Amino acid sequence: MKLKKIESINVLPFIDIMLVLLCIVLITASFISSGVIKVALPEANASVPIVPASGQNKIEITISENGEFFFNGESVNFYTLLLRLDYVHREDMIIIRADRSSRFENFIELINALKERSLENISIAAQKG
């Protein structure tokens, strides 16, 4: 009996498995990434779910209780935050999560920086109370 020489490998099943694993990782990552930074949000009576439009990036800026700034979950100083804001597009949705115990001056500085860059698509996260 003569053995056949294998000249090619069918990689389609491997690609299918990798796509399924990629979907699982992306779905899991979206659940893990929300609420990583502990922030006691202020309460509001009316709330509207924040859903970015298609093709629109979601930028999350967090101000912690002790005044630390976070840009999409990464701790940054205010100067670095200003540099990153220079690369944000006007159409991008900016969500501000400020701890209710943080200094109000930090919030005002952030709003002023956003207005200077004509970034006006801003939402402020709050707990429904």
Taking each helix axis from N to C terminus, what angle separates 78-85 and 104-116, rounded to the nearest 10 degrees? 30
Considering the domain boundaries, does residue 124 fall inside one? yes
Considering the domain boundaries, does residue 81 fall inside one? yes
pLDDT at 41 (0 to 100)? 73
Q: Which of 4-13, 37-46, 57-66, 94-103 has the lowest mean pLDDT?
A: 37-46
CA 35, CA 23: separation in Å to the nearest integer? Answer: 21
CA 24, CA 22: separation in Å to the nearest integer? Answer: 5
Q: Minimal CA–CA distance to 42: which of 12, 11, 65? A: 65
Considering the domain boundaries, does residue 5 fall inside one? no
User: Does the pLDDT of residue 36 top 70, yes or no?
Assistant: no
| pLDDT band of 2, cuts 50, 70, 90 | confident
Considering the domain boundaries, does residue 37 fall inside one? no
Q: Which domain range does residue 63 map to?
A: 43-128
Domain count, the chain: 1
% of residues, the chain, pLDDT over 70: 83
Considering the domain boundaries, does residue 7 fall inside one? no
Considering the domain boundaries, does residue 33 fall inside one? no
Q: Which residues contact 114 (CB under 8 A, 6 or more apart)?
A: 85, 94, 120, 122
Enter the pTM of the model. 0.64
Considering the domain boundaries, does residue 38 fall inside one? no
Tokens of 109: 């500085």
The 10s digit of each residue's pLDDT in 37-78 is 677 777 777 666 666 666 678 899 999 989 999 999 899 999
Considering the domain boundaries, does residue 27 fall inside one? no
Please give the backbone phi and psi of residue 61, each rounded to the nearest 5 degrees, phi first: -115, 125
The enclosing domain of 121 has a CATH number of 3.30.420.270
